[in-house]
Amino acid sequence: MKKIFAAASNGGHWKQLLRITKPLEQRFEVVYASTHPKCEAMANGGRFYLMSDFSRKDAWRLLPAFFSLLRILRKEHPDAVLTTGAAPGLVCLLAGWMLRYKTIWVDSTANAVELSGSGRIARHFASRIYTQWPDLAKDGVVYAGTVWGVKSEQ
């Protein structure tokens, strides 16, 4: 069974990630990483790693996080790294790219008029970039649906 390393910051990014990985678990082994210990209980019983949290404001914390994620990814040896953001997810994707795994960025549904700042950086190296807004699917950015999934309008 192929393995996915799925990472996202706590909060909306993490909730979006789980809506994607839940169905993926039928086909893949999914290992999780997030920025808050309480996320482990939501990781559907999969293996879980804690990432340090930072934003672009305290970017110096990026370096220790990057080396820690490199170590974890070497150990897990996934077939693909998948993230919904934000900055810690980007660093995870970068570590995955260095190790030559497939890297997949799903830009948050919160970015309706342009890709997120982290998504624009990910475009330079990620093997696949998804947007959740059809208008933003151009120049190699792919739209294939949303984290919202099937909606029943009432």
Contacts of 124 (CB under 8 A, 6+ apart): none
CB-based burial, 55-79: b 16+ in 10 Å, e otherwise: eeeeeebbeebeebbbebbeebebe
CA torsion angle 68 106 12 44 (round to 10): -70
Q: How many residues bind other proteins (CB under 8 A)?
A: 45
Q: Report yes or no: 84 and 106 within 8 Å, Cβ to Cβ.
A: yes
Task: Provide, rounded to whole angstroms, the least separation between the CB of residue 137 and other proteins.
Answer: 12
- Under the binding rule (CB under 8 A), the answer on residue 16 touching other proteins is yes
Quick count: other Cβ atoms within 10 Å of Cβ 147?
16
- Under the binding rule (CB under 8 A), the answer on residue 130 touching other proteins is yes
> Any idea which residue has 């897990």 for tokens?
76
Stretch that binds other proteins, among 43-51, 59-67, 86-94, 128-136 (CB under 8 A): 128-136
First to last CA, the chain: 40
**Among 90, 104, 122, 129, interactor with other proteins by CB under 8 A:** 104
Nearer to other proteins, 56 or 71 (CB): 56
Stretch that binds other proteins, among 58-66, 67-75, 89-97, 143-151 (CB under 8 A): 143-151
- Under the binding rule (CB under 8 A), the answer on residue 144 touching other proteins is yes
Binding site for other proteins (CB under 8 A): 2, 4, 11-16, 19-20, 22-24, 27-28, 38, 79-80, 82, 102, 104, 106, 108-113, 116, 127-128, 130, 133, 142, 144-154
